[in-house]
Structure 1
Amino acid sequence: MKVLITGNQGYLGTVMSPIVTAAGHDVHGLDSGLFAECVLGPQPTDAPTLAVDLRDVTVEQLRGFDAVIHLAALSNDPLGALAPEITHDINHHASVRLARLAKEAGVSRFLYASTCSVYGAAGESLVTEEAVLNPLTPYAVSKVQVESDVAALADESFSPTFLRNATAFGFSPRLRADIVVNNLVGSAVLTGEVLVLSDGTPWRPLVHAEDIANAFLAVLEAPQEVVHNAAFNVGSEENNVTVAEIADIVADVVPSATVRITGEFGGDPRSYRVDFSRIRKALPDLEVAWDVRRGAEELYRGYVDSGLTAEAFAQRFTRLPWLKSLQSAGRIDDVMRPLGGGAA
């Protein structure tokens, strides 16, 4: 298939593009370049990429593709809280517009990167795709809205699938430090302390970036009737863990690291455990290969081998400070558009 991956120069896209390419697909990217420079280690080799803001995509740019994998988003809860209107504009409005244009262009498959955070505060019970959605942040709200609006576009010629990813972790050449496992390993490596600012009790479903990529590939290659207009949780029950449990794993992996749970932010209301049986039944050959310990070990090696610094971890690899630095440098405007055209 000829496949367009939006956000291919992001944390997940940089991992996913080579996996889909290696499976024999003709992969192209579309990315405004906001995070193209957020590289730890050798510069990754990107697929041919259209340097276009998601809000400016045209139908002509989508013609000839068999599938769109839509990853691009402002994917950070603090950023969403700071600028909910921009999150709505990019994550909701531009995503639905992309789907409509893709349908108009004759694209038959549309794979949307949603999130398990649509479940919000779900308590101790394992939530399935049939659970009542309870998004607690502008980011999660935008995902619910896109699922609803894009599902309404489905017909025999346009087949969307909604992949509700658990919280991602794992090394990517374009690193993110503001997701829980990646952050706690970085804290341990750079300070010797696994610092938890909540009380450690919230549950988090986790999934490695490579496992997300393989799930998208499996859906892409599945018979259309198996995945048509369906939502799938992406992850494994084994990786439903509390933040305190993650901290203990990290401390065990990083030599001499200790755990400090301050509780200064109290209990995080975003606490939920997720059931992943639907995707296993639909795609029985799909495996989840990474658990939290193996991912923490990978991150530890990657951080040490790449010479991660505290400044880069806090600035270049954390979404909100990085975007603020681009604004201060006059490289993007106040609604996150690159200035001067093309990539930031």
Structure 2
Amino acid sequence: MRVLLTGHLGYVGPMVSQALMMAGHDVTGLDSGFFFEPDGQCLAAADRVGRFPVSDVRDVTAESLKGIEAIVHLAGLSNDPMGELDPALTLAINQTATLDLARCARAAGVERFVFASSCSLYGAAGDTALMIDEEAPLHPVSAYAVSKAECERELAALASLDFAPVFLRFATAFGVSPRMRFDLVLNNLVAWARTTGEIRVLSDGSPWRPLVHVSDMAHAILCVLNTPADIVRARAFNIGRDDNNLTVARIAEIVAAQIPGSRIVITGETGGDPRSYRVSFARARRDLVGFAPRWTVADGAAEIDRWIVDQGLALNDVMSPRFVRLAQLKQHLACGRLDSALRPVRI
């Protein structure tokens, strides 16, 4: 299958491109390069995929999509803090550009549109004793989550016998990737524990979060492409493992067990967090061909810890713009490499 992968140079993208190519798919990448560092491992992965004629998803046309059979759409402002950088920009990139891409795809005869959605659209879910499935009401509490919810609704309206959009509601990502991040909860807590001896929890630790390893995210995308269109068309699937539903405090305890001598510090400086939800992943296990997520949070903590040690990183490294997406964007803006619309400044 000829697949266009947007966001192929991000945190998730290299894992997805590798999984797709190993399965025999012909992969073309489209990425703005905001967070691309030309280190050897990522550069090698990027060089193995084809290059799309444009690098910004906002510039795609129907004509440029001719011959593409499926789109895996990862590109966008990738978490709640980045979404709050400029809510109007979040709307333009995460929602308007996504829907424009989908309309172009449908006009070009693309058969499948895999949209990277998020469990964050469950937001303030209320009773966390209940496991939320895909039919639960949505309660997004951030610009990022609102954009995901609106995209799902409008993409579903584009579905037809010849065009199958599908929505993968990913849990919070963790794990080692060629384009590593430390602005994700497990990655961040392990980084602080290993480099300072403290596991800093900024909330009160009580919110529930579902988590998923970046490799299992890539696995889920491959499973969607292998599943008949009639099963996935205009449907949402939560992606993760049931036993990876944990409170932030419990995640911190798992990190402490991985790094003996580290101590948990509940600062509470961000106050109460309204985002709290436990998620059921039964639909994906039942309906997506071959879906069987492998990674536990404990396994991920060990993997991340080994990577930090192997790389010889200190706190100023893991908290630098290289590994923190919002800091990287702000640096690009401050240096004049990007304009206020997050487009490259031509000199």
Q: Confirm or deny a common fold (TM above 0.5).
A: yes
Q: Determine the C-alpha separation between the residues in 2 that align with 1:174 and 1:144.
A: 27
TM-score (norm: length of structure 1): 0.96
1:283 Cα deviation (Å)? 2.4
1:205 Cα deviation (Å)? 0.4
1:41 Cα deviation (Å)? 6.6
1:186-197 superposed matches below 5 A: 186-197=191-202
Q: Decide whether aligned partners of structure 1 residues 324 and 154 sit closer, same or farther in structure 2, where only a CA change above 3 A counts.
A: same
Q: Determine the C-alpha separation between the residues in 1 that align with 2:39 and 2:311.
A: 10
1:235-250 superposed matches below 5 A: 235-250=240-255
1:176 Cα deviation (Å)? 1.4
Gaps of 5+ in 1: none
Q: Determine the C-alpha separation between the residues in 1 that align with 2:185 and 2:171.
A: 12
Aligned to 2:32: 32
Secondary structure of the 2:12 match is: helix
Q: Does 1:317 align with 2:323?
A: yes
Q: Does 1:83 align with 2:75?
A: no
1:82 Cα deviation (Å)? 2.6
Q: Which amino acid aligns with 1:58?
A: T
Aligned to 1:116: 119
1:284 Cα deviation (Å)? 5.6
CA contact (8 A) 1:40 1:173 kept: no
Secondary structure of the 2:117 match is: strand
Q: Decide whether aligned partners of structure 1 residues 162 and 36 sit closer, same or farther in structure 2, where only a CA change above 3 A counts.
A: same
CA contact (8 A) 2:112 2:163 kept: yes
Q: Which amino acid aligns with 1:249?
A: I
Aligned to 1:48: 50
Q: Does 1:334 align with 2:336?
A: no
1:156-167 superposed matches below 5 A: 156-167=161-172
Q: Does 1:134 align with 2:136?
A: no
Range 107-116 or range 322-331, more displaced: 322-331
CA contact (8 A) 1:38 1:174 kept: no
1:145 Cα deviation (Å)? 0.7
Q: Decide whether aligned partners of structure 1 residues 31 and 145 sit closer, same or farther in structure 2, where only a CA change above 3 A counts.
A: same
Q: Does 1:101 align with 2:104?
A: yes
Q: Does 1:206 align with 2:208?
A: no
Q: Determine the C-alpha separation between the residues in 2 that align with 1:338 and 1:238.
A: 42
Q: Which amino acid aligns with 1:328?
A: A
1:184 Cα deviation (Å)? 0.5
Q: Determine the C-alpha separation between the residues in 1 that align with 2:40 and 2:88.
A: 31
Q: Does 1:72 align with 2:78?
A: no
Secondary structure of the 2:216 match is: helix
Q: Determine the C-alpha separation between the residues in 2 that align with 1:203 and 1:220.
A: 30
Q: Determine the C-alpha separation between the residues in 1 that align with 2:41 and 2:109.
A: 39
Percent of residue pairs identical: 51
Q: Which amino acid aligns with 2:214?
A: A
Aligned to 2:295: 290
Q: Determine the C-alpha separation between the residues in 1 that align with 2:31 and 2:170.
A: 20
Q: Decide whether aligned partners of structure 1 residues 39 and 91 sit closer, same or farther in structure 2, where only a CA change above 3 A counts.
A: farther
Q: Deviations over 1:58-113 (max 9, x none)?
A: 22221111100000010121222231000000000000000000111110000000
CA contact (8 A) 1:188 1:254 kept: yes
Q: Determine the C-alpha separation between the residues in 2 that align with 1:70 and 1:155.
A: 19
Alignment equivalent of 1:175, drawn from 158, 168, 180: 180
TM-score (norm: length of structure 2): 0.95
Secondary structure of the 1:4 match is: strand
Secondary structure of the 1:11 match is: coil
Alignment equivalent of 1:305, drawn from 310, 314, 321: 310
Q: Decide whether aligned partners of structure 1 residues 293 and 40 sit closer, same or farther in structure 2, where only a CA change above 3 A counts.
A: farther
**How big is the alpha-carbon RMSD for the aligned residues of Structure 1 and Structure 2?**
1.5
Gaps of 5+ in 2: none
Aligned residues: 341
CA contact (8 A) 1:207 1:239 kept: yes
1:44 Cα deviation (Å)? 4.2
Secondary structure of the 2:181 match is: coil
